Amino acid sequence: MERSASARFESVLAPSERAAAVTALDSAGAKVTSWGVAGASRTYARLRLTATTDVERVRAAIDARIDEPALTVLQVAPRESERLPALLEALAGAGRPAGIVEAGICDGGLCVELDERATPLRFLVDIIDVELAPAPGRRIVALLPLDDASLTAFASATLAAPEIDGSRLVERYVEPLLRGGA
């Protein structure tokens, strides 16, 4: 069984720091599958763990917060920047959804860390759109790639098609072909 985790570093890592983190994580049984940067303040990494990887060993290997399973990390930029305070209050204030681990201002938008076990991505996008209704328009960028389960759940909820499951994700079948695999 393969597992996933995410790592959050409290700075933007230089290439040499990323290389050192990859080495340390490899020795702890975690493989970096992607990197993401939130403005000028943070670096995120998505990690692949094996069934036997000890998460405490991974946490001890690097100076970063480790979340298992991996968090969904998004950068949300409203078209009208004056909507940022209301959006921040909705996503980080007292009544925020349970799955919001953290939300804060970064580079003209918000950086949102979401635990989809508590709040589905579709629900988060709905909240964002409700808060931005007085001045619609936004850009949402995933700082770490979404996994198949997230994509499937989002597509199923968005299209109101509960029959959508992982077997219907075209990317799962196309990506190996693009890489030259069978």
31-72 pLDDT, tens per residue? 999 999 998 789 999 999 999 999 999 999 999 999 999 999
Residue tagged 């349970």 (tokens)? 98
DSSP letter string over 12-75? PPPHHHHHHHHHHHHHTTEEEEEEEEETTTEEEEEEEE-TT--HHHHHHHSSSEEESSPPEEEE
Q: Identify the bridge partners of residue 45 per DSSP, sorted by sequence position.
A: 7, 35
State yes or no: pLDDT of 174 exceeds 60: no
114-159 pLDDT, tens per residue? 999 999 999 999 999 999 999 999 999 999 999 888 888 888 888 8
Give Cα 147 to chain centroid, integer Å: 9
State yes or no: pLDDT of 168 exceeds 70: no
Give Cα 78 to chain centroid, integer Å: 18
